[in-house]
Amino acid sequence: VIVFPQYDRGFFDRDFRRMARDFAELSAAAIAELGSSVDASQVVYSGHSKGAYVALNALGYPEARRALLPRQAVLFAVAGSDREALAQVPRGLPVTLVVGDRDGITPL
């Protein structure tokens, strides 16, 4: 099952803390609505660019983790990083970052 939460209020929306919380809360609500057909303990966050940035923040911000904490994340070309959020990602949570060696946005 793929859930695509509409966390974004437009291209220029920059409230990443709210977006991370909305991302997690909307995903948790969709999973709850699907009932026993989806195992919430098997959730994997994924995203590309801004979506990957929001998903990464959702791993770190406590208010987002309260809604849903996935078992792992696979993120493509993350459009930035928030050191505060990164510092709070639970140790041992597998996170795969896929970036190009010429990515001008996210340094290795």
Retrieve residue 93's tokens. 């949570």
End-to-end CA distance of the chain: 31
- For 9, 13, 80, the CA distances from 31, given in Å and listed in that order, are 22, 25, 28
- pLDDT for the residue 82: 84
pLDDT grade for 10, boundaries at 50, 70 and 90: confident
pLDDT at 16 over 70: yes
- For 1, 14, 91, 102, the CA distances from 94, given in Å and listed in that order, are 20, 26, 9, 24
Please state, rounded to an integer, the average pLDDT across all residues of the chain: 89
- pLDDT for the residue 107: 64
What does the pLDDT look like over 68-105, one tens digit per residue?
889 999 999 988 878 888 899 999 999 999 988 888 77
What does the pLDDT look like over 34-65, one tens digit per residue?
988 888 889 999 999 999 999 999 999 998 88
DSSP state of 46: E
Instruction: State the pTM of this model.
Output: 0.87
> Above pLDDT 90, what percent of the chain?
49
Higher pLDDT, 73 or 9: 73
